[in-house]
Amino acid sequence: MAKKIARNQSVAIPEQTESVTLIDVARVAGVAPMTVSRALHRPELVRSDTARKVREAVRATGYVPNMLAGGLASSKSRLVAILLPTIANSIFADTVQALMDGLTASGYQTLLGLTGYSTAREEELVEAILGRRPDGIVLAGTSHTEATIKRLTKGKIPVVEIWDLTDKPIDMVIGFSHEQVGAEVARHLIRKGYQRFGVISVDDPRGLRRCRSLINELASHGKTNVPFEVLQAPATLQGGREGLSRMITSGCPEVVVCSSDTLAQGVLAEAASRGLNVPGDVAVMGFGDLSTAAHVYPALSTVRVDGATIGKNAAAALLARFAAEADKDQVAVRMDTGFSIIDRESA
């Protein structure tokens, strides 16, 4: 594979299996290796067009600059980066706690980054974090930009994607199928006799996948035209209240399925404020089984995911990789931790 550069030169870009060096970047950019180093570390000392060419070459090759002063490529940082969408609610708390406990016990420190449900923001964080040479990276979800995937593949650093499943992980993946959650919830509620459905979600890619899978499953049972309210992430109680308020203007559904327990508890609050009986007038289903779910009134029906098991296994997978010092392709980890539907009073 070749990339066209200035002065009509054609320079080969290293294959995915090769380790990209500063010299490779210099060759693609058409400048000296010292200029590349200066552009990366002291950009104010180089011309703007030269800095631009270097940045383009870095992106094209997937080169990861070492930002550790005096660090060696073979040195170990004993640092693991964890990238999550948010800490605004506690849905990831058990996972992070188990993950950090497992890593800390083996002498590793953790760095937490928040993506705000944005793959572009995740890309920026990955670029910044890779420059610090972490020993491993944990990502929530399997949706990433092409640049993120390329950098992580080129970087040859162990990566665990969690809270999701895919047949084409970057490296290791531990989680569950969001599509299966949606389909199983739909079938479960149909068996309970519900006919008219409403759906409320935030614009979290995983939540949307669950909800769309649920709607598709409902359609296969002849239940179409399902009201679907999509709110801006993160999930809040206010969002749940506003979602139900908008939905019932065209008629109240028999059951409202929410992409999170937080939204569902907002729906419960709005229903109570309107004098609606739950589940008599409207039933409510959440996701996540937060610590509060069993203690609201009425107790919330939901989907339980074993976040602690995900975190524990993610830590174990990373530690096994660190100990083996093997290439990624030699250790395949794809673990389905499953989920369970919890029936309580709200549905």
Residue 325's pLDDT is what? 66
pLDDT over 90 for what percent of the chain?
68
| 13-34 pLDDT tens trace | 555 445 788 898 899 999 998 8
Residue 154's pLDDT is what? 85
Q: Which CATH class is domain 79-176+308-337?
A: alpha beta
Q: What is the DSSP string of 234-296?
A: SP-HHHHHHHHHHHGGG---SEEEESSHHHHHHHHHHHHHTT--TTTT-EEE-SS--TTTTTS
Residue 13's pLDDT is what? 56
CA-based torsion, 92, 153, 205, 209: positive or negative: negative
Backbone φ and ψ of 133, nearest 5°: 55, 60
Is 74 or 272 the better-scoring residue by pLDDT? 272
- Contact, 110 vs 79, CB < 8 A? yes
* Within this chain, domains 2-61 and 79-176+308-337 share the same CATH topology: no
Domain ranges of the chain: 2-61, 79-176+308-337, 178-304
Residue 43 has pLDDT above 80, yes or no: no
**Structure-block tokens of residue 103:** 């890593």
Residue 345 has pLDDT above 90, yes or no: yes
pLDDT over 70 for what percent of the chain?
90
Residue type, 6: A
**Alpha helix positions (H), the chain:** 22-29, 33-41, 48-61, 93-105, 119-130, 146-155, 178-191, 205-220, 237-247, 261-273, 307-324
Mean pLDDT, range 173-192, rounded to an integer: 98
Check: CATH 3.40.50.2300 for 178-304?
A: yes
Q: Kindly give the pairing relationship between strand 2-4 and strand 10-12.
A: antiparallel
Tell me the pTM: 0.77
- Contact, 119 vs 54, CB < 8 A? no
Q: What is the CATH number of domain 2-61?
A: 1.10.260.40
- Contact, 254 vs 218, CB < 8 A? no
Question: Strand pairing partners for 116?
Answer: none
Residue type, 10: S
- Contact, 80 vs 317, CB < 8 A? no
Mean pLDDT, range 212-232, rounded to an integer: 96
